[in-house]
Structure 1
Amino acid sequence: MHYQCPECDKEGKTESELRKNGCNCKIQPLQMHDSKDHDGIKQKKSYEKNLDDDKRSDQKKLYDFALTRIDKLVISENNSDEVFGILKNNNHIETFNLSSTRAIHWLTNEHNLFGNSNELHSSDYYKTILNTIISKATMNGTKKVKVYNRIAQLEDEIWYDLGNSSWQSIKITKSKVKLVKLDKDSPVFRRSQSLQEQILPKRGSNFSLDQLVNLLHISEQDQLVFKINLICLFLQAYSMPMIVFDGSAGSIKTTATATVKRIVDPAGKLNQDNVSSMQEKPNDLVIQLSNRYLASFDNVSYIDSKISDVTCRAITGSNNERRKLYTDNDEAIFSFRSKIVLNGIIPTLDYPDLQTRLISYDRETIDETNLITEKEFQKRLDGILPSVLGIIFKTLAKALQKYPELKDTIKPKTRMADFEIWGEIISRCLGNVSNKFLKEYYVKVNQRNLSNQENYPIIQTIQILMKNKKFHEDSALNVYAELSKIAEEKLILNIKDRFVKFPKHYNQITKQLISVKPLLKTAGFDVINYHWTKHDPKFDKNTSIIRISKIESQKTLGEVLPKKSSLPSLSSPSEKQAQKTEKTSESSEGSHKPNSEPSLKSSDSGHKKQASESSEDSESNLKKFYCHTCDAGEWGENESTELNGNIVEFHRKLDHDIQLWEKK
């Protein structure tokens, strides 16, 4: 800013300096803008001067000007049709999808600020210029980069886009959690219309997570797994299980779903902002999932096979192709990995592939004394949300530090292997003992498997068919006839009922056996289908054959039952003799006390040998078994049911924690 006399044209930074510079005019000096203090005016004058000096069309002039304002152009790896411009806007670095409406608004605003045209143009005018820039980037070998929604996970870093107008991000490394401004060298984030600003985190503790699960009424046995699952949703680079809330009306399913969305990827502050209906068409669902880091679906009642397939691919991460226009053969390719949470009263999610990728969480019964209004709930959530985010980010920093050291020591057992590894590491970072998370997670998996087996009668019929067999091979027609007879006579099922999930014809049995193969493995069976090609009259050539076999199991009792290091082991024969002598000595002194309590002993491979050496011991001991996983028992060694056969063997095949009890 400076002063200038309109009569003598002398200048000065102040009026007194103007007088010192020789201005003696009696006219009032003018207050003038200095070009170095006002970049916009300088740019505008430069732009107007250039416009006056050349003969380019107005659109070409604006095109050239737009290129000078864009610092960097990149093409999305996720979708090769998307070109992003990285530029400085309002004192921060911002990323635009040049095909978006926001890019049109930006260019219109730039034209009005720096152009000299008094004409108003339609959006097509600016879209033509932007499309020209996109073509230039596409044909000139512009670099392709990964473009992220909300969260980006690099090797040793996690970036969380806060979604605010300052384009700030939380950067999580092995050593610290830091608030940073995004720049042109940061990961590229896209902001969809649904993305809203996240609150700034503050220092929190494990107590904040306890407050959260209590506010959501998560049942006590599910609280640890839920906490870990919630934190794992921030791991963008890995597949994590879908969270499912089911239950009757009034069990805060929608509220719980919206709360998870608000913690991870908020779309607003109210429940209705953070839940949406699930699209019924696969192509529409692909777009819905690709535009959100975390998709939250409300009141889902049924998922068909096509929607189930899209959901499975989204959780695992894959490419999804669809035709761009019906007038040509171009494809639009969407590559993404999504995190999903949904709810429903009794959602039908019984496709085995989808079942292995979800965890359903129970909630405590809410009586009249625990009911609160939505306004009160949001007030409580607002109070703990900054601390919840703080402890989540702090825990992720610890997990990044420990992951290289611990990842090879954890051996996954399910298809969600990354969830098992990261979940166990995060559990330890929260202060839990080793394997506590894995044990509770496997309980959830076993409960799900048992429930799934009940949903598919064909599994129960195979269990009855194979009760006294290790191997069964026959044509698909004959196997279907045998299993149908068992279903109708033993299970009392009407297999023709459309609500009964049993093959309605023999040519459908192969398809269902393939779909339930993971469930059959958990039940202890391996099923193979092939065509008979041998020159053997046993079957006609090219007949469809089904082979069912029991999965080989360990033979000795000690190998079947896991040992408990904290429990006493069985004594050797010499130790037994010493114990008897000691007991006899104690009895003669009157110090022996009868013991009516059951003694818990871990079994080993030498148990049967020891039992045979002492007939007195074998007669006085009664073997009973208890399942810690199901919290059920006791059963005798040879007890069995018609449906599942030997009870102990059935629980062992499900990899349950079985313990031998001996009652004296």
Structure 2
Amino acid sequence: MGAPTDIQQAAERIRQKRKQKSPQGTGEKTSFSDSSRLPQSAQIVALIVGNPDATLWHDSEGEGYISMRVADHTEHTPLKSRQLWQYVAGQYYEANGRPPNSSALKDALAVLEYEANRGENYETFIRVAAANGHIYVDLGDATWQAVEITPQGWQIVNNAPIKFLRTKHMLPLPEPQRGGTINQLRPLMNTDNTGFELIVGFLLKCLNPAGADPILMVNGEQGSGKTFQSKQLKRLIDPHVAETRSTPRESKDLYVAARSSWLLAYDNLSFISGELSDAFCGLSTGSAIAGRKLFTDGEEAISKAKRPVIMNGISDIGAMADFMDRVVTVTFNRIEDEARKPEKELEYEFDRIRPLVLGALYDTVSRGLANFNHVKIDRLPRLADFAQWVTACEPESERGSFVQLLFENREQVRGDALSNDPVGQAVVGLMANCAEWKGTANDLLNLIDKLPDIPHGKHWPTDARSTSVKMKRIKPLLYTMGIVIDEKRTSKERTIFITKLPSLSS
């Protein structure tokens, strides 16, 4: 798509004028006074294209950005950001004594988007990124410092080779300190040793953007501190004004949240629908969703993101096999009244140890980078990238222990899911006294409806279609119990076959 010709030509004249005024690269900037006879839109464009400290570029979706040198660092901002246009409008007002009109700002943005798409194509990142075998963590401070982690160690750098973006509600991380240990976090995590090891593994994966990300499911009865401890984990990796979020209404809400945060934390989820389950799985692997761009006649907008997730409050995650294979569950213990501490006291202790724990986590990530290509694992769980990465981070004497924890955790998740799924329990009960069964989905529903002691609940199937969908979802779970589900369609009807494996039939 072309740019408005008159404004583009004016911008080009300004560029040439700047080159003539500072042929030796003196860094002299073009001001609005250099172009006061030009239209407002061209003057606004001049502020950007005439600035030797500014670079326009775009991402793979064609969105435009500007990188601006500020003091001893570079800041990266979307061209459509309010922050940038407040700055531009303020500069114009200072030079002309009046604000620019909205039409001029709109025209100028169109030209700058055009100019950005003539520039380089870069990938953008929020909080955590990887490049050239190194990992970078944006500290989120005013000077745009980042932690650079290499196989040799870590250091704080002023200009990471990464296009980090800052969102409105991001909060800074403290500067990490050396000499701490990850175990300093242990007293603040109200779980057993296995749970803590799984939490540490999750945190280490949050610091490596490569591969599919796990979903940390925090369980526990009321009074176990699930929400507070979820917030602490969020603050350790990706502090944000929204420490935890409520249940997303639809899948696109997940991707909106992912545009402003690296680690997403959801609080007090009572149920996850099939649609949201699929969306969380997509977020784990980096899938994209499509929709129509606003104010367009059908132009498609693609939202793509891959994020680690924390969620708590779900006692029954249903029998969604794909979702369960991406979940790591940790149970927090109830805190007795005599052992309970005020949150302010806990927050003070967390803030005290946070820089030391971060330093220890970065040390461990460095070890993972050094070992990753040398790690061999004979048997991998579904979260293979997660397992391989944390194994690389383990000390040599403990290598392989985390993979075993993942296998055990997966079996626990599947067992809990099946025991909490009434349809699954009904099928298990149905097959208790027979080796095989066949019939339509409607036949099956009529049969399990009559089984005693099976609570139906609001998610119980109500017709043949919902029964068929439900059986497809619980099929992998039932297989772990030795029950095989198959479905065949003829010209007349669709038949479900349920078979008990021989080892369980004898």
| TM-score (normalizing by structure 1) | 0.66
Q: SS of the residue aligned with 1:193?
A: coil
Q: How does 1:68-87 map to 2 (within 5 A)?
A: 68-69=50-51, 71-77=54-60, 80-87=61-68
What residue identity is the alignment partner of 1:94?
Answer: E
Shift of 1:109: 4.5
Shift of 1:48: 7.1
Aligned mate of 1:329, from 298, 310, 324 = 298
Pair 1:420 & 2:378 matched: no
Using the TM superposition, name which of 192-201 and 240-249 deviates more: 240-249
Pair 1:188 & 2:163 matched: yes
Shift of 1:232: 1.2
Shift of 1:417: 1.7
Alignment partners' CA distance in 2, 1:123 and 1:249: 52
Pair 1:492 & 2:453 matched: yes
Contact map agreement 1:248 1:345 (CA 8 A) in 2: no
Alignment partners' CA distance in 1, 2:425 and 2:80: 55
Task: Find the counterpart in structure 2 of residue 303 from structure 1.
Answer: 272
Contact map agreement 1:453 1:460 (CA 8 A) in 2: yes
Deviations, residues 454-497 of structure 1 (Å, cap 9, x unaligned) = 12344344445555776x4633258617xx546745x5336xx4
Alignment partners' CA distance in 2, 1:528 and 1:395: 46
Alignment partners' CA distance in 1, 2:38 and 2:427: 79
Task: Find the counterpart in structure 2 of residue 284 from structure 1.
Answer: 253
Alignment partners' CA distance in 2, 1:312 and 1:433: 30
Shift of 1:178: 1.6
Pair 1:66 & 2:44 matched: no
Alignment partners' CA distance in 1, 2:441 and 2:211: 43
Aligned mate of 1:475, from 426, 439, 444 = 439
Aligned mate of 1:146, from 99, 123, 127 = 123
Pair 1:352 & 2:325 matched: no
Q: SS of the residue aligned with 2:331?
A: coil
Contact map agreement 2:268 2:313 (CA 8 A) in 1: yes
Aligned mate of 1:547, from 483, 487, 497 = 497
Shift of 1:106: 2.9
Structure 2 unaligned segments of length 5 or more: list them: 1-21
Closer, same or farther in 2 for the Cα pair 1:91/1:477, shift >3 Å?
closer
Pair 1:128 & 2:107 matched: yes
Pair 1:521 & 2:479 matched: yes
Contact map agreement 2:40 2:100 (CA 8 A) in 1: no
Pair 1:437 & 2:402 matched: yes
Closer, same or farther in 2 for the Cα pair 1:286/1:51, shift >3 Å?
closer
Contact map agreement 1:247 1:345 (CA 8 A) in 2: no
Closer, same or farther in 2 for the Cα pair 1:279/1:508, shift >3 Å?
closer
Task: Find the counterpart in structure 1 of residue 5 from structure 2.
Answer: none
Shift of 1:291: 2.0
Provide the identity percentage.
Answer: 22
Deviations, residues 237-293 of structure 1 (Å, cap 9, x unaligned) = 22222122233332211211111110010115xxxx522323323333321223211
Closer, same or farther in 2 for the Cα pair 1:285/1:232, shift >3 Å?
closer
Contact map agreement 1:200 1:386 (CA 8 A) in 2: yes
Alignment partners' CA distance in 1, 2:176 and 2:441: 63
Q: SS of the residue aligned with 1:361?
A: strand
Contact map agreement 1:149 1:191 (CA 8 A) in 2: yes
Q: SS of the residue aligned with 1:105?
A: helix
- Matched residues, number: 482
What residue identity is the alignment partner of 1:425?
Answer: A
Contact map agreement 1:246 1:347 (CA 8 A) in 2: no
Shift of 1:432: 5.2
Contact map agreement 2:223 2:334 (CA 8 A) in 1: no
Deviations, residues 341-360 of structure 1 (Å, cap 9, x unaligned) = 12227465654332222222
Alignment partners' CA distance in 1, 2:417 and 2:176: 40
Which protein has the larger Cα radius of gyration, Structure 1 or Structure 2? Answer: 1
Deviations, residues 100-119 of structure 1 (Å, cap 9, x unaligned) = 01111232344467x4x233
Shift of 1:200: 0.7
Using the TM superposition, name which of 149-158 and 165-174 deviates more: 149-158
Closer, same or farther in 2 for the Cα pair 1:65/1:505, shift >3 Å?
closer
Alignment partners' CA distance in 2, 1:301 and 1:465: 28
Q: SS of the residue aligned with 1:87?
A: strand
Q: How does 1:266-415 map to 2 (within 5 A)?
A: 266-267=239-240, 273-325=242-294, 328-344=297-313, 346=315, 351-406=320-375, 408-413=376-381, 415=382
Shift of 1:318: 0.9
Contact map agreement 2:286 2:307 (CA 8 A) in 1: yes
Deviations, residues 126-161 of structure 1 (Å, cap 9, x unaligned) = 4432332013333x4x43321111111235111111
Deviations, residues 144-202 of structure 1 (Å, cap 9, x unaligned) = 3211111112351111111111111111111121211126xx11111111211110111
Contact map agreement 2:189 2:229 (CA 8 A) in 1: yes
Q: SS of the residue aligned with 1:228?
A: helix
Deviations, residues 567-595 of structure 1 (Å, cap 9, x unaligned) = xxxxxxxxxxxxxxxxxxxxxxxxxxxxx
Closer, same or farther in 2 for the Cα pair 1:478/1:276, shift >3 Å?
closer
What residue identity is the alignment partner of 1:283?
Answer: K
What residue identity is the alignment partner of 1:64?
Answer: A
Alignment partners' CA distance in 2, 1:473 and 1:340: 40
Q: SS of the residue aligned with 2:218?
A: strand
Structure 1 unaligned segments of length 5 or more: list them: 1-35, 533-540, 554-643, 647-664
Using the TM superposition, name which of 451-460 and 217-226 deviates more: 451-460
Alignment partners' CA distance in 2, 1:236 and 1:196: 20
Task: Find the counterpart in structure 1 of residue 227 from structure 2.
Answer: 254
Alignment partners' CA distance in 2, 1:466 and 1:48: 80
Q: SS of the residue aligned with 2:398?
A: coil
Shift of 1:336: 0.8
Contact map agreement 2:246 2:268 (CA 8 A) in 1: yes
Q: How does 1:445-594 map to 2 (within 5 A)?
A: 445-464=410-429, 466=431, 472=436, 474-476=438-440, 480=444, 485=447, 488-489=450-451, 491-493=452-454, 497-499=456-458, 502-532=460-490, 541-550=491-500
RMSD over aligned CA atoms reads 3.0
Pair 1:231 & 2:231 matched: no
Closer, same or farther in 2 for the Cα pair 1:518/1:161, shift >3 Å?
same
